[in-house]
Structure formats: structure tokens, C-alpha cells
Amino acid sequence: MNKRNKVKHLNREKGHRDALINNMITSLFKYERIESTQAKLKVVRSHAEKIITRAKKNLGDVAPEVKLHNRREVLKRVKDRNIVIKLFEDIAVRYANTNGGYTRILKLVNRPSDNSEVGILELTNRKDRPTLLKEIREKREVVADEKKAKAAKEAPAKKEKAPKKAPAEKKKSAAPKKTAAKPKKK
């Protein structure tokens, strides 16, 4: 009998299930939106909400050892350090005044091949694609401007070279070329 067992097995062994959840959580924080089956999304949602709450605990005046502890606890689930930095510096700040409900599950049409329930798990305050693209372009422009300024500062003034002349055309001779006479066949 399956009484008081709260773990959703997802038809996987423990190690495989944990790896699946960790990968899906990492993808959720990286892309702020993932698509999968409803059962997986419900499991991932509970873990993701707890991770965001832990990241929010680092905001404000907190002892350094507590901040380090929270970061290490999150690193157990989220395996990419860059995403952990994004989580603590961007996502946690977005949800600073929100108490829970950081994610939502949107239902999609059942998958035709196996008729499984499919959905989208996304962060509620996620940035839409045009805003993200605009921020990326601005960052690239700033970096490009910094590189140009650095290159101009380091490189000495170069002399301008005169433009290259077009190559002179070969003169054709008026005399026809001599060719060897071929013997005639009889």
C-alpha cells in the first residue's frame, strides 16, 4: 500500500529522478520558461519555489556565513554557477516583495503521440523576449564601445597610405601568333 509517500517517482530511479529535476530547474532559471509533461512540471515547481525563497533570504542585511550557506544549498540543485549568480542578483530581486507564487503552469494541448498532458512552467515576472533582446544588444554595444576606446587608446596614430593604383592592362600586339602547321591527311 502506498500510504503517506509524498515523493513523485516519475517512473525513474532516485539518481535519475534527481538529475532530471536538477536539469529542469537549471533550464527554468536559464530560460525562465520550460515545456514538459504536467507531472514533471509540478515536481519541478515545488523545488524551484523553494530555491527562489532561499535566494530571497540573501537580500538585505544577512551575515556573510548565511549568504554563503544559502548559495551552497542552491548550488546543490542548480549546477551552473552563472545561473546561480543570475538567480541571486536578478531573479531574487524581482521577487523581493512577493511572498510565494513565483511560477505558473500553463496547460497545453495533449501530445498527439502518447496523449500525455503537456504544459509550460514559467516564472511569473519573467522578461519577455523583446526586452531581453534589447538588453543583450545594449550590453553588446557597451562592450563594443569599450573595446574601440581601448584599441584607440593603445594603438599609436598610423600614417594613412595612398590608395593603390589599378593594375595596368597588358598591351596586345598587332602581330598574330605563330602556330605550327599541321600535316594534312590524305
On whether residue 176 sits in a domain, the answer given is no
| Percent of the chain at pLDDT exceeding 90 | 61
On whether residue 59 sits in a domain, the answer given is yes
- Domain around 96: 14-125
Position 174 confidence tier, pLDDT thresholds 50, 70, 90: low
On whether residue 166 sits in a domain, the answer given is no
Query: For the chain, how many structural domains are there in total?
Result: 1
On whether residue 116 sits in a domain, the answer given is yes
CATH number at residue 22: 3.90.1030.10
On whether residue 130 sits in a domain, the answer given is no
On whether residue 85 sits in a domain, the answer given is yes
| Percent of the chain at pLDDT exceeding 70 | 85
Q: Could you tell me the sign of the dihedral formed by the alpha carbons of 50, 56, 57, 63, in that order? A: positive
On whether residue 112 sits in a domain, the answer given is yes
Query: What CA–CA distance (Å, rounded) separates 48 from 26?
Result: 9
Query: What CA–CA distance (Å, rounded) separates 186 from 180?
Result: 19
Cell numbers for 140, please give them: 553588446
Asked whether residue 171 carries a pLDDT value surpassing 70, the answer given is no
Cell numbers for 116, please give them: 500525455
Most confident stretch, 6-10, 123-127, 170-174, 176-180: 6-10
